[in-house]
Amino acid sequence: MAGISFRHVWKRYGNSVAVKDLNIEVVDGEFLVLVGPSGCGKSTSLRMLAGLEEISDGEIAIGDRVVNNVAPKDRDVAMVFQSYALYPHMTVYDNMAFGLRLRKTPKNVIDQRVREAAKSLGIEVLLDRRPRQLSGGQRQRVAVGRAIVREPAVFLMDEPLSNLDAKLRVESRSFISKLHQRLGTTFVYVTHDQVEAMTMGSRIAVMSAGELQQIDTPFNLYHNPRNLFVAGFIGSPSMNFFNSTLKADESGALFVEGTGFRVQIPASKVEMYKGWAGKQVVFGIRPEDIHDAEFLPANISPDFVDARVDVVEQMGNEMILYLELDGKTFISRTDPRTRAVNGNTLRVAFNMDNAHLFDRDTEHSLAFDMKTSDASAPVAVS
């Protein structure tokens, strides 16, 4: 097992920059998720780590060894691809054993490792089948098993669940998380799905346009996003944003004023934001922090807005409301008892304890540097 270091890593294709000055430290045994939209550089970063892409600048180290010039087969990593890349003419047993045979591993060791891995993955009865005879979930487990038998220092996974249906993706997330706990090996996992990232990673590295935007625990990414991109990318449905102005009254109270609404900043946050009074900001609030005023949860700091109900989605345990305020559409996840009706006006409450403010020009969170967290540091694994 081993930790991983990206040190000022760049990847260029001619004049195009795919990865820009990437710096990440992953401790031995950690589960790090690289997440972001298509084209953000996450898969390229993983492929550079695996040795499948050359580095333009910087260093990548696995353990104490810089691997820039080390061949992929000598990096002691195992990779699971989106396509699974199983050999169609080989049985499950032979697919899992193939890498070990290339390394001239003794037959008895190969057999022991393949059967132990198959048992741990619940695919012992599939060892004599070929890939075409397997379901998508079974193929995914075979691909993982092929990686396990190599007993690598690092597991690399590039969107391994994207070809599965929704139910199987949920089951597979749990399976991979349990596998990480059992093996205690370093995992680096790439996905565009922020739900996968939030549920699986001990830390998450959010990327956009080749740049690392923020690396932190799932909890801190959700509650303390560094900028507008992270705030909008993490969370489902995504955070609502309103162009606004931060204003102070004669008593020193602070208010966020936007088109059609005016809500008050809680007294506990006035000191944090008072230097921005009179300036234009982006006001952010998550759908789950917008409540039907008739069904307010306890111990929040609400301020109220009247909005027109555009669409109602009944989810059983909650309602998803699409609301309109002076031409601006926003989303609420609210109590299922709500009596909201399409076309009617509904009084909703913004939980201002969980509101976010961003600089309109830089898109940086106004509160980020004032909230202390050491979760961007590597997570020690015992």
Whether residue 240 has pLDDT greater than 60: yes
The per-residue pLDDT for range 172-205, each reduced to its tens digit, is: 888 889 889 988 899 999 999 989 999 999 999 9
Under DSSP, the state recorded for 95 is H
Task: Extract the tokens encoding 132.
Answer: 């075409």
Share of the chain above pLDDT 90, in %: 73
Residue 370: what pLDDT? 55
> Checking phi first, is residue 143 left (phi over 0); if not, alpha (psi -120 to 50) or beta?
alpha
Residue 379: what pLDDT? 62
Q: How far is 255 from 214, CA to CA, in rounded Å?
A: 28
Residue 115: what pLDDT? 92
233-239: average pLDDT: 93
Bridge partners (DSSP) listed for residue 10: 57
Compute, in degrees rounded to 10, the torsion defined by CA atoms 208, 209, 211, 213. -20
Residue 230: what pLDDT? 97
The per-residue pLDDT for range 64-99, each reduced to its tens digit, is: 999 999 999 899 998 888 777 889 999 999 999 998
The per-residue pLDDT for range 311-330, each reduced to its tens digit, is: 999 999 999 999 999 989 99
* Strand, coil or helix: 141: helix
Whether residue 32 has pLDDT greater than 80: yes
Average pLDDT of the chain, as a whole number: 91
135-162: average pLDDT: 87
Residue 81: what pLDDT? 83
The per-residue pLDDT for range 341-358, each reduced to its tens digit, is: 999 999 999 999 999 999
pLDDT bin (cut points 50, 70, 90) of residue 145 is confident
pTM for the model stands at: 0.88
- Let me know the angle formed at the C-alpha of 17 by 67 and 229, rounded to the nearest 5 degrees: 105
Task: Extract the tokens encoding 373.
Answer: 């967290």
Residue 377: what pLDDT? 62
Tokens 């190599």 locate to 150
Whether residue 307 has pLDDT greater than 70: yes
Share of the chain above pLDDT 70, in %: 96
Q: What is the CA radius of gyration of the chain?
A: 24
The per-residue pLDDT for range 367-382, each reduced to its tens digit, is: 886 554 455 666 655 4
The per-residue pLDDT for range 163-173, each reduced to its tens digit, is: 778 887 888 88
Closest CA to 294 of 280, 308, 304: 304
Q: Which domains does the chain have, with CATH numbers?
A: 4-232 (3.40.50.300), 238-369 (2.40.50.140)
| DSSP string across 102-133 | HTT--HHHHHHHHHHHHHHHT-GGGTTS-GGG
Q: How far is 284 from 286, CA to CA, in rounded Å?
A: 7
